[in-house]
């Protein structure tokens, strides 16, 4: 019996139910001076530990004509730099759906998609010099050329910004992706296309992601993605893939690692699960289950050692259906999925900006709450 149990633990997929780690207190709080109801902040750590913040200014009449950019010392919270990037006037509310740093740390990517509910603003993409917080290039992505566009970030060689735009069809009332257009725009001049191709979806599914090499991963499922398979369109074959068996599928954002994938289940489930895949098998190598919440968003540190995620519980009871019952920030060690720390986040907003950094034994986590207050946490790894 003992021998059988040891064999399972050593060779099988290990599923652990964990309780939240210690709740640290923020070492610094900074009021950003924004109205989070109209323009939520986006944050990301640079490789040296400085924190970048971006958000829309709020003019009179719920309008905005600029993106505010700030850089802070990630340890002390001291503001190091501030700038404004002028844009065409838009209606608020509006916020960035992507704010990322290039692999070499020299550029920031800022992307706005029109709000699901609210004004019909243009889709706006900008690349910013991280050392000066000055605009490198910007572009409005028109719907005819980029339908249902998603931005997947910088390419691995820092030269391009990778976009995906999908042609969708509805069959039996469910959406399906028929073909995917993959575009790589020059990071220094977004008006220049470095490459573009159209890939036919090999599956009868809907969702997809694109990795930093510009390679597509398609889900086999019609609506709730429980799998993603890397696809070579030239050879028309599946290279490798990942799959889970939970009812709510995988969250849209998968974190591609140098030697695998870190993935999370969707927020609708009240039993959040974190997965590590080594891509040698489609089943996860390691899984951890959190209780009382499912995952809504996640980011990873520049060295890929730690990840931070928003875990949100949503009531399934008839009287309170849809209300948020729990919201917490969880910090995970990527190699073991150990829950290093957990602390509450605001239930009063749908956006929860998060960022994480790690170096020389120190982990820094940043959040912005519903009042527009930036909080910095420092802990030992």
Indicate the length of the chain as a whole number. Answer: 381
Alpha-helix runs per DSSP H in 19-62 = none
- Which range (3-17, 131-145, 152-166, 263-277) has the least confidence? 3-17
User: What does DSSP say about strands 14-17 and 286-289: parallel, antiparallel, or unpaired?
Assistant: parallel
**For residue 321, what pLDDT is reported?**
65
Element (H, E) at 330: strand 324-333
**For residue 158, what pLDDT is reported?**
97
Cis amide bond preceding 93, omega within 30? yes
pLDDT band at 100 (very low <50, low <70, confident <90, very high): very high
The domain locations on the chain are 143-243
Q: What is the pLDDT of residues 212-248, one digit of tens each?
A: 999 999 999 988 899 999 999 999 999 999 999 888 8
Average pLDDT over every residue of 303-326: 81
- The Cα–Cα gap between 161 and 33 comes to 30
Listed ranges 154-163, 241-250, 307-316, 335-344; the one with the highest mean pLDDT: 154-163
pLDDT of residue 104 exceeding 90:
yes
**For residue 131, what pLDDT is reported?**
97
**For residue 8, what pLDDT is reported?**
32
How far, CA to CA in Å, does 319 sit from each of 89, 241, 347? 42, 40, 18
Average pLDDT over every residue of 27-56: 92
Listed ranges 13-17, 219-223, 285-289, 291-295; the one with the highest mean pLDDT: 285-289
Mean pLDDT of the chain: 87
Average pLDDT over every residue of 306-327: 79
Report the SS3 class of residue 7.
helix
**For residue 223, what pLDDT is reported?**
80
Question: Look-up: residue for tokens 């996640």?
Answer: 298
Average pLDDT over every residue of 326-347: 91
pLDDT of residue 24 exceeding 70:
yes
**For residue 116, what pLDDT is reported?**
63
pLDDT of residue 16 exceeding 50:
no
User: Within a 10 A sphere around the Cβ of 105, how many other Cβ atoms?
Assistant: 15
- The Cα–Cα gap between 340 and 353 comes to 19
Question: Look-up: residue for tokens 């893939």?
Answer: 241
**For residue 292, what pLDDT is reported?**
83
**Which candidate, 329, 378, 357, 355, places its Cα nearest to that of 42?**
355
pLDDT > 70: what percent of the chain?
90
Q: What are phi and psi of 9, to 5 degrees?
A: -65, -35
- The Cα–Cα gap between 345 and 339 comes to 16
Alpha-helix runs per DSSP H in the chain = 2-11
Cut 0.85: pTM above it: yes
pLDDT of residue 13 exceeding 60:
no
**For residue 224, what pLDDT is reported?**
85
Average pLDDT over every residue of 132-146: 91
Q: How many CA atoms lie within 13 A of 137 on its CB side?
A: 14
Tokens of 145: 């050329």
Question: Per residue in 179-217, is it b (16+ CB within 10 Å) or e — as a string?
Answer: ebbbbbbbbeebeeebeeeebebbbebbbbbbbbebbbb
Report the SS3 class of residue 10.
helix
**For residue 151, what pLDDT is reported?**
95
Q: What is the pLDDT of residues 183-198, one digit of tens each?
A: 999 999 999 999 999 9
């Amino acid at each position: 019996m003992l021998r059988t149990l040891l064999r399972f633990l050593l060779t099988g997929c290990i599923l652990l139910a964990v309780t939240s780690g210690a709740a640290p207190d923020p070492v610094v709080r900074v009021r950003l001076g924004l109205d989070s109801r109209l323009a939520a902040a986006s944050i990301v750590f640079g490789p040296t530990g400085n924190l970048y913040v971006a958000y829309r200014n709020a003019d009179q009449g719920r309008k905005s004509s600029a993106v505010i950019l700030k850089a802070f010392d990630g340890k002390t919270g001291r503001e190091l730099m501030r700038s404004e990037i002028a844009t065409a006037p838009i209606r608020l509310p509006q916020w960035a759906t992507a704010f990322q740093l290039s692999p070499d740390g020299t550029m920031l990517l800022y992307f706005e998609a029109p709000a699901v509910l609210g004004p019909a603003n243009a889709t706006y993409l900008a690349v910013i010099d991280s050392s000066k917080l000055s605009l490198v290039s910007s572009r409005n992505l028109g719907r005819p050329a980029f339908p249902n566009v998603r931005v997947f970030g910088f390419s691995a060689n820092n030269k391009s910004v990778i976009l995906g735009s999908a042609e969708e069809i509805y069959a039996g009332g469910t959406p399906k992706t028929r073909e995917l257009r993959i575009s790589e725009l020059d990071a220094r001049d977004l008006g220049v296309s470095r490459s573009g191709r159209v890939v036919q979806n090999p599956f009868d599914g809907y969702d997809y992601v694109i990795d930093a090499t510009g390679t597509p991963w398609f889900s086999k499922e019609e609506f709730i993605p429980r799998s993603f398979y890397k696809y070579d369109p030239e050879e028309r074959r599946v290279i490798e893939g990942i799959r889970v068996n939970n009812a709510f599928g995988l969250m849209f954002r998968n974190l591609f690692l140098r030697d695998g994938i870190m993935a999370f289940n969707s927020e609708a489930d009240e039993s959040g699960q974190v997965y590590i895949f080594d891509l040698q098998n489609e089943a996860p190598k390691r899984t951890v289950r959190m209780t009382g919440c499912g995952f809504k968003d996640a980011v990873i540190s520049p060295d890929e050692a730690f990840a931070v995620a928003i875990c949100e519980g949503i009531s399934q009871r008839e009287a309170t259906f849809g209300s948020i019952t729990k919201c917490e920030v969880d910090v995970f060690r990527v190699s073991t999925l150990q829950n290093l720390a957990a602390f509450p986040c605001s239930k009063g907003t749908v956006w929860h900006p998060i960022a994480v950094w790690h170096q020389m034994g120190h982990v820094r986590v940043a959040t912005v709450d519903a009042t527009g207050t930036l909080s910095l946490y420092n802990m030992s790894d």
